[in-house]
Structure 1
Amino acid sequence: MNAWLQTAAVLTTALGLLAAAAAWRLTRTARGALAVLLDFLTAAGLLPLAGEPSWDSITLAAAVIALRKLLGASLHVSGRPVTGAGRAGPAR
């Protein structure tokens, strides 16, 4: 990987951490902050493909995207509001 691509990946990761901290500070939800961080980490994982792609970099990018999809799906499922008969609270 080119030196500038490696530097760009590290900077993208660092900016992702800062953006996630800002998202947490603004929303006070870990779910939103984690979603922002995962998007930045996905971008940092895809940057090596801009250089000379090898099977190792393609495999790494595929693993990063699969992890992002898995964690994103778990965030979506855990973020669903509970409604109907299963809702917690006082009976009416």
Structure 2
Amino acid sequence: MLISDLSDHARALAADPRCSALVGEPAERGDPLTHPRLTLLGRTAALDKEAERSAYLAARPKATLYYDFTDFRLLLIDADEALLNGGFGKAYRLGANDLRAL
């Protein structure tokens, strides 16, 4: 993730790299709580921002506007577990081995 050192969450991660990230892709209709989502749990690790520039911007071209700002750095979430919620009554805890298999 590309993150500005001016943000509160960047300062929090600098003090303690433990983090979580919720990802999902809700449908256009229906109750969002019934749609699949995944919470990644782990720690952040710094990436070489210049070495990753081309790949990051190829996937996120709009980030070109601010990628080179000096207060932005690139972090990787090194997830060691995850919580998968596939909808009502479909919740699973995934460990490191499960995530490596993905």
* Interval of TM-score (by shorter of Structure 1 and Structure 2): under 0.3
RCO (CA 8 Å, sep 6+): is it higher in 1 or 2? 2
Give TM-score, length-normalised by structure 2: 0.24
More helix by share: 1
TM-score, structure 1 as length reference:
0.25
